[in-house]
Amino acid sequence: MQPVDFTTLMAACAELRRDWLPARCEQVVQRDRTTLCIALRTLKQRGWLTLSWHPQAARIHMGGPPPRVPDTFTFSQQLKHQFNGYALVEIEPLAPWERALDLRFARRPGDPIQWHLYVEVMGQYSNVILVNAQNQIVTAAHQVTEQQSSVRPILTGTPYVHPPAIAGSFPSLKESQQRWQERVALIPTTLKKALLKAYSGVSSALVRDLVDRAQLDLGQSVDTLTAQEWERLFEQWQFWLQCLEKEAFRPRLTQAGYTVLAESTETASSVQGLLQEYYTAVLNL
């Protein structure tokens, strides 16, 4: 199963901001123990926002309505109570290169933000956390005690603390090819391992996409690449960073999973639709 990486999260976030803000919160339903659905209504449309803290399939996207079965989960009941009469007005990344979003709620656009719903897409540590305007945790999909984590407990009534800062070097459009190549080729290993070790914010799926587009092989050793091959790979690296900067994505299902950097003209209608289709299939929803 392909997890949502930073690039996919930014692609989903860009579409949500463009097409679904501001939106009135009309309903909150928890469809299973790791998936929440929020009914949103804009001036033009109504749909269901899916938020999941599944350890392998944490994600955020617009999707279909939840099944019509009784919702017995406490988390959704708490959110339903707090979001009554509120609108989702902003969605922002929590920090650069972090797989976490801050969904902000107010009475109406332009009013002070009263609620933050933090969606942390972080593998087995994924979580959805409701925080009030005073930065106090009101409820969380998964509470974490001090015994479970002395670094970052997540408990009702305590201050919300951001996830630990990501260590390492971050990709940059300003970085020269020479400096980038030196960093990637520092240790003689495969292209896949080299790219993953050289930079934070890079995933296995992204490396696969970039290497494929450069017509190279993931198992190639970095010390065997020719000057032309390095140039092709750097071009794809720059293309990816430009897509992030411009919020220009091309979603498509692939044999290995999916991509938001498709070369083919046969792309999915939206990142939302792509994620809904892929995870519905792999999770057998």
Number of structural domains (the chain) is 2
Rounded Cα–Cα distance for residues 188 and 178 (Å): 17
Query: Do the domain assignments include residue 98?
Result: yes
pLDDT the model gives residue 264 = 72
What distance in Å separates the CA atoms of residue 57 and residue 87, rounded to the nearest whole number? 26
Share of the chain above pLDDT 90, in %: 90
Q: Are residues 119 and 206 in the same domain?
A: no
Q: How many CA atoms lie within 13 A of 268 on its CB side?
A: 21
Beta bridge partners of 159: 136
pTM comes to 0.96
Asked if 82 contacts 64 with a C-beta cutoff of 8 angstroms, the reply is no
Contact 66, 84 (CB under 8 A): no
CA nearest to 109, candidates 174, 42, 162, 164: 42
Q: Is the pLDDT of residue 253 over 90?
A: yes
For residue 70, pLDDT over 90 is answered with no
The average confidence (pLDDT) of the chain is 95
Quote the pLDDT of residue 149: 80
Whole domain around residue 202: which residue ranges? Answer: 177-246
128, 211: one domain: no
Residue pLDDT, tens place only, 119-163: 999 999 999 999 999 999 999 999 998 888 878 999 999 999 999
Confirm whether 83 is domain-assigned. yes
Q: Looking at the domain assignment, is residue 132 inside a domain?
A: yes
